[in-house]
C-alpha cells in the first residue's frame, strides 16, 4: 500500500511510516478521506485484491461483486458471427470443468485458424455458467516469463511485487473457487531459452494450484508429462460453415458465390473474414472468384492490406512461423508442398531417401507441432493446407535459395507418380484389378498433378506423354470424360505445336478411345471417328504398322465402321489390329480385338455370330487372365445384350447380372455400373418383371445423378423408367419422368477434344 501511495503521500513521510494506522492517518490528511469520500481507500483495496474489504467499505452486495469479478480477467468480447466449432468448444468446456481430471488444455493450429476465437468463446461459456472465474491474458509479443506473470497479475487485479513469479503462484494456490486462466497466443514464449521456464511455470501451477485450470492457445504444440492434458489441433472450417460465415458477413452475397469463395479461402476463418470485409466494401464476388482462379497466391497476398493490423496479415504470420523452423524443416515443408492432397509418411519417403522411416516420422511430427503440416488422426494421413502451400510458393519466388529444393521435389514427385501409373496399369491388366483401382483412387490427384506438372519440365515432357498414352485404357476407365480430355488435350496441343507426329497421333488415338469408351449409344461418335481417322492417316504416313497405339486405332476405327453398318471396312481393320497384338504377344488385347470384332457384327444385327466370336475368342481369355474385371464385365454385358436381341432372356439376364456384380465390385458407383443397372432393367422389363425393373432402373439413375448429372445416359434412363411406369399403370409418374428427360436433355453438355 505504501508503494501505491507514492505521489500522493510525500516520500519523506512514507519512509517514516511503519504501522498501518500511521499510513491510514496520512491518507486521511493527504486525500481528504471521509465518510463522503471513500474512493481513495476503495481504490487501494481494489488494487491489492482485497475486494471483500472494498465491498464492505462501499456497501456493495456480494452477488453483484461476484458477477463483476467474472469479468475482471479482461476477456475480450465474443467473436461476432462465430460459426462452426461447436464440437470443439464443447470438448474444451468439458475438459475445463471442475469434475474433469484434465489440468491443462492446449489449442494449436496455424495462424488465422481461429484458436483465439475458440478460447474466447469457451471463456464466455464458462462465465455464463456462473461457476468459474475466468482470467484472460494475451501473450502476443511477450518473450519473457516476467512479462507473462506481470500480465497475469494484471488480469488478477494485483500489483506486482519484487518477486512476481512467486507472488502469482502463491495467490493462485490460495484460490478456492474453480478458476480458468486463458493464456492466448503463447507461441512467442515457446522459443528457447524462455520455453523451458514457461513450461515449468505452467506445469508447476497445474500441479499446485488445485482450483486452477489452464487453457493455452499457440501455433506450436506443447507437451506436459506430469499432469493430465488435452490437446485440440484445429483444422480449417468445413465448406458449409465457410459458406455460412461469408453469408453472415455479407448477406448480399449469393449462396453459390459464397460456396466458391469459401473453397478458395480454404476454410481459414481469417481469410474468410477478410474476404467478407472486402465484399462489404463493394468488391464484386465474381471478380474475386476470378482472381482466385487465376492466381491464388497473389490474391491471398493482396489480403495483406494496409487496413489490416500486422497480426491479421496471414502471410506475415506464416512467415514468422516459417522463419522459426530449422533449416531441415523448411526444406521438408517446401518439398511436401508439392502434394496436392493427403499423404502418408510412406508416400512421402521417396522425397527423403536419406531419411530412415523413423527419422522421417520425427521430421513430419516437428512440422505438425509447428502447425505448418496438418495430420488427420483417423486416417493417419498428413497434408499441407492449401493456404500454406500458397505461402510456400510465394516464399520460393522471393528466396532464390529455396528454388532448387522445390524444383527437385517436383521432379521426384512427377517421376514417382508416372512410374506408379505404369505399375498400376500392369496390375490392372490382370487379376489384381481391384487393388489397382483402389490404389489409383487413393492417388488420383497426385497422378493428375504429375501428368499436368511434367509438361512444365522439358526433361520429363516426352516421358509423361508416352506414359499417358500407354496407359490410356486405365485412365479412360478411371477418369471422367471431361477430366481425361482436359489432361490429354494439353498433350495433344503440345505434340502438334512441336511437330511430333508420332506422339500427336498417339494422343489423338487416346482422346478418341476415351470418347468411344464413354459412349453407350449405337451410333458412331463423330468426334471419336474424326480422331481415329486423323490418327490413322498420320500413322500411315509415318509407316507405323506395329505399335500398340496403332493397334488401338485400327481396332476402334473398325468398331466405329461397324456402328456405321460398314462391315466391309470394319472387319479388315480389326483383324489387322489383332495381328499386331498377336505379334506383340499381348493375349489380353488380342481378346479385346476379338471383342471389337464381335461388337462390329452385333451392330449389324449378326448377334449369333457376335456371341460365338466372344464366347470362343474373348471370354475364356478374360476369365483366365483377368477374372472379375471391368473388361470382363463389358464383354458379358455385350453378350447379354445380344442374347436379349436373340430372345434368349434367361442368358441375357444371367450375363448382365454377372456384369453388374463385377462392376459394382471393381468400379463402385461408376458410369459403367449404372449402364449395367440400366441394361438389366431393360431385360427385366422385356420379360414383364416391371416392378423389379423399376427398382433396378432407379438404382441406375441414382448413380447417374451422382457421377454424370445431365447426360444422354441419364435422360435415357428417365425414358426407360417412364416406359416401365406406363406398363404398371402409373401414367402420372410416367409423364413426370418424360418431362424430366426432356428438361435434362436440354441441359446436356458433352466435352469434346479441342481442335
Q: Please state, in angstroms and rounded to a whole number, the distance separating the CA atoms of residues 139 and 214.
A: 14
Q: Which domain holds residue 620?
A: 480-627
Tell me, yes or no, whether 487 and 618 share the same domain: yes
Q: What is the CATH number of the domain that holds 104?
A: 3.40.50.300
Provide mean pLDDT across the span 192-203: 91
**What 3-state class would DSSP assign to 342?**
coil
Question: pLDDT class for 66, splitting at 50, 70, 90?
Answer: very low
> Cα separation of 327 and 334, whole Å?
11
% of the chain residues with pLDDT over 70: 92
| 101 and 222 assigned to the same domain | yes
Q: What angle do CA 204, 207, 212 make, to 5 degrees?
A: 100
Cα-atom radius of gyration of the chain, to the nearest Å?
Answer: 36
Assigned domain for 103 exists: yes
Judgement on whether residues 623 and 492 belong to the same structural domain of the protein: yes
**Cβ–Cβ < 8 Å for 360, 349:** yes
Q: Residue 560 half-sphere exposure, CB side, CA atoms within 13 Å?
A: 22
The pLDDT value given to residue 50: 66
* 96 lies in the same domain as 211: yes
Q: Is residue 617 part of a domain?
A: yes
Tens digits of residue pLDDT in 549-559: 999 999 999 99
Tens-place pLDDT, residues 541-579: 999 999 999 999 999 999 999 999 999 999 999 999 999
Q: Identify whether residues 486 and 585 lie together within a single domain.
A: yes
Shared-domain flag, residues 261 and 339:
no
Question: Final residue of a domain: which of 605, 627, 649?
Answer: 627
Mean pLDDT of all residues in 473-479: 92
In a domain, 568, yes or no: yes
Q: 419-429: per-residue pLDDT in tens?
A: 999 999 999 99
**The pLDDT value given to residue 380:** 86
Q: How many CA atoms are closer than 13 Å to the CA of 493, on its beta-carbon side?
A: 10
Q: Is residue 450 domain-resident?
A: no
Tell me what percent of the residues of the chain surpass a pLDDT of 90.
Answer: 64
Across the chain, mean pLDDT equals 88
Q: Give 8's pLDDT tier (boundaries 50, 70, 90).
A: low
Grouping H, G, I as helix, E, B as strand and the rest as coil, residue 344 is: coil
Same domain assignment for residues 533 and 493? yes
103 and 194 housed in the same domain: yes
Q: Are 485 and 618 within one domain? A: yes
Beta strand segments in 142-279, E: 179-184, 212-218, 229-233
pLDDT at 712: 87
Domain termination residue (choose one: 602, 627, 652)? 627
CB 471 within 8 A of CB 450: no
User: pLDDT value at position 754?
Assistant: 53
447 assigned to some structural domain: no
pLDDT digits (tens, 9 = 90+) for 14-23: 777 778 777 7
Whether 536 and 615 map to the same domain: the answer is yes
The residues, any chain, with a CB within 8 Å of residue 444's CB and separated by 6 or more, are 478, 479
* C-alpha cell recorded at residue 7: 505521489
- The per-residue pLDDT for 53 is 73
pLDDT digits (tens, 9 = 90+) for 639-663: 999 999 999 999 999 999 999 999 9
- Do residues 523 and 563 make contact, with C-beta atoms less than 8 angstroms apart? yes
Give 251's Cβ-side CA count (13 Å radius): 1
CA angle 619-595-634, nearest 5°?
A: 70
Q: Are residues 622 and 488 in the same domain?
A: yes
What is the domain-level CATH number for residue 359?
1.10.10.10
Helix (H, G, I), strand (E, B) or coil at 217: strand
pLDDT at position 70, please?
37
In a domain, 570, yes or no: yes
Give the mean model confidence (pLDDT) for residues 445-459: 93
Residues 361 and 492 in one domain: no
* Cell matching residue 521: 449409344
Instruction: Choose the final residue of a domain: 398, 415, 448.
Output: 398
Q: Read off the pLDDT of residues 359-387 as tens digits, 9 standing for 90 and up.
A: 999 999 999 999 999 998 888 899 999 88
Residue 65: pLDDT band with limits 50, 70, 90: very low
Q: Does residue 241 carry a pLDDT above 70?
A: yes
In a domain, residue 78? The reply is no
**Number of domains into which the chain is organized:** 6
682 closest CA partner among 692, 667, 670, 672: 692
301 occurs within a structural domain:
no
Identify the helix (H) or strand (E) that includes residue 698. helix 690-707
* Average pLDDT of the segment spanning 687-708: 93
Mean pLDDT, residues 707-714 taken together: 87
594-642 tens-digit pLDDT: 999 999 999 999 999 999 999 999 999 999 999 999 999 999 999 999 9
0.85 exceeded by pTM: no
The predicted pLDDT at position 67 comes to: 34
Amino acid at each position: 500500500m505504501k508503494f501505491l501511495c507514492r505521489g500522493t503521500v510525500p516520500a519523506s513521510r512514507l519512509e517514516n511510516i511503519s504501522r498501518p494506522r500511521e499510513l491510514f492517518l496520512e491518507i486521511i490528511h493527504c486525500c481528504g478521506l471521509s465518510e463522503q469520500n471513500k474512493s481513495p481507500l476503495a481504490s487501494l483495496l481494489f488494487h491489492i485484491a482485497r475486494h471483500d474489504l472494498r465491498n464492505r467499505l462501499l456497501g456493495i452486495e456480494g452477488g453483484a461483486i461476484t458477477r463483476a469479478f467474472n469479468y475482471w480477467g479482461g476477456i475480450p468480447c465474443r467473436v461476432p458471427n462465430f460459426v462452426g466449432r461447436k464440437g470443439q468448444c464443447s470438448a474444451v468446456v468439458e475438459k475445463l470443468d471442475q469434475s474433469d481430471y484434465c489440468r491443462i488444455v492446449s489449442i494449436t493450429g496455424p495462424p488465422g485458424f481461429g484458436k483465439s476465437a475458440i478460447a474466447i468463446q469457451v471463456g464466455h461459456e464458462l462465465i455464463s455458467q456462473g461457476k468459474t472465474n475466468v482470467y484472460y491474458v494475451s501473450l502476443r509479443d511477450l518473450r519473457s516469463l516476467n512479462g507473462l506473470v506481470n500480465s497475469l497479475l494484471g488480469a488478477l487485479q494485483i500489483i506486482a511485487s519484487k518477486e512476481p513469479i512467486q507472488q502469482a503462484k502463491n495467490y493462485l494456490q490460495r484460490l478456492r473457487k474453480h478458476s480458468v486462466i486463458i493464456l492466448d497466443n503463447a507461441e512467442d514464449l515457446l522459443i528457447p531459452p524462455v520455453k523451458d521456464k514457461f513450461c515449468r511455470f505452467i506445469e508447476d501451477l497445474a500441479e499446485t494450484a488445485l482450483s486452477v485450470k489452464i487453457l493455452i492457445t499457440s501455433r506450436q504444440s506443447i507437451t506436459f508429462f506430469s499432469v493430465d492434458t488435452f490437446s485440440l489441433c484445429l483444422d480449417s472450417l468445413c465448406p458449409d460453415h465457410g459458406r455460412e460465415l461469408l453469408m453472415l458477413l455479407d448477406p448480399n452475397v449469393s449462396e453459390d458465390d459464397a460456396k466458391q469463395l469459401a473453397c478458395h479461402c480454404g476454410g481459414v476463418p481469417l481469410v474468410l473474414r477478410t474476404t467478407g470485409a472486402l465484399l462489404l466494401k463493394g468488391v464484386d464476388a465474381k471478380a474475386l472468384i476470378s482472381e482466385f482462379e487465376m492466381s491464388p497466391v497473389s490474391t491471398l497476398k493482396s489480403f495483406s492490406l494496409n487496413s489490416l493490423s500486422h497480426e491479421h496479415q496471414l502471410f506475415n504470420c506464416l512467415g514468422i512461423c516459417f522463419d522459426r523452423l530449422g533449416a531441415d524443416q523448411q526444406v521438408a515443408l517446401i518439398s511436401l508442398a508439392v502434394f496436392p492432397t493427403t499423404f502418408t509418411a510412406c508416400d512421402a519417403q521417396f522425397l527423403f531417401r536419406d531419411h530412415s522411416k523413423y527419422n522421417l516420422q520425427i521430421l513430419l511430427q516437428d512440422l505438425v507441432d509447428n502447425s505448418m503440416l496438418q495430420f488427420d488422426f483417423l486416417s493417419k494421413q498428413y497434408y499441407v493446407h492449401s493456404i500454406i502451400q500458397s505461402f510456400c510458393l510465394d516464399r520460393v519466388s522471393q528466396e532464390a535459395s529455396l528454388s532448387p529444393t522445390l524444383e527437385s521435389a517436383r521432379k521426384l514427385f512427377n517421376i514417382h507418380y508416372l512410374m506408379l501409373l505404369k505399375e498400376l496399369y500392369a496390375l490392372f491388366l490382370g487379376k489384381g484389378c481391384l487393388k489397382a483401382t483402389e490404389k489409383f483412387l487413393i492417388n488420383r490427384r497426385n497422378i493428375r498433378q504429375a501428368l499436368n506438372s511434367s509438361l512444365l519440365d522439358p526433361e520429363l515432357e516426352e516421358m509423361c506423354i508416352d506414359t499417358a498414352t500407354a496407359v490410356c485404357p486405365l485412365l479412360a476407365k478411371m477418369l471422367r470424360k471431361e477430366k481425361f480430355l482436359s489432361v490429354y488435350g494439353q498433350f495433344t496441343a503440345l505434340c502438334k505445336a512441336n511437330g511430333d507426329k508420332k506422339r500427336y497421333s498417339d494422343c489423338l488415338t487416346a482422346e478418341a478411345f476415351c470418347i468411344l469408351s464413354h459412349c453407350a449409344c449405337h451410333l458412331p461418335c463423330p468426334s471419336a471417328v474424326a480422331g481415329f481417322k486423323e490418327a490413322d492417316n498420320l500413322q500411315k504416313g509415318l509407316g507405323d504398322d506395329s505399335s500398340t497405339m496403332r493397334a488401338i486405332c485400327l481396332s476402334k476405327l473398325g468398331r466405329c465402321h461397324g456402328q456405321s453398318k460398314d462391315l466391309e471396312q470394319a472387319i479388315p481393320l480389326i483383324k489387322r489390329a489383332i495381328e499386331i497384338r498377336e505379334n506383340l504377344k499381348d493375349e489380353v488385347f488380342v481378346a479385346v480385338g476379338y471383342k471389337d470384332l464381335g461388337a462390329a457384327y452385333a451392330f449389324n444385327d449378326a448377334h449369333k455370330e457376335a456371341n460365338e466370336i466372344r464366347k470362343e475368342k474373348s471370354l475364356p481369355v478374360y476369365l483366365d487372365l483377368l477374372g472379375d474385371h471391368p473388361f470382363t464385365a463389358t464383354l458379358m454385358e455385350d453378350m447379354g445384350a445380344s442374347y436379349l436381341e436373340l430372345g434368349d432372356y434367361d442368358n441375357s439376364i444371367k450375363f448382365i447380372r454377372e456384369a453388374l456384380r463385377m462392376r459394382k465390385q471393381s468400379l463402385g458407383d461408376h458410369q459403367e455400373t449404372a449402364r449395367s443397372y440400366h441394361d438389366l432393367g431393360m431385360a427385366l422389363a422385356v420379360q414383364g418383371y416391371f416392378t423389379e425393373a423399376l427398382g433396378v432402373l432407379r438404382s441406375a439413375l441414382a448413380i447417374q445423378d451422382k457421377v454424370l448429372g445431365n447426360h444422354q445416359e441419364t435422360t435415357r434412363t428417365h425414358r426407360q423408367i417412364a416406359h416401365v411406369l406406363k406398363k404398371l399403370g402409373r401414367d402420372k409418374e410416367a409423364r413426370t419422368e418424360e418431362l424430366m428427360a426432356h428438361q435434362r436433355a436440354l441441359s446436356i453438355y458433352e466435352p469434346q477434344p479441342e481442335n
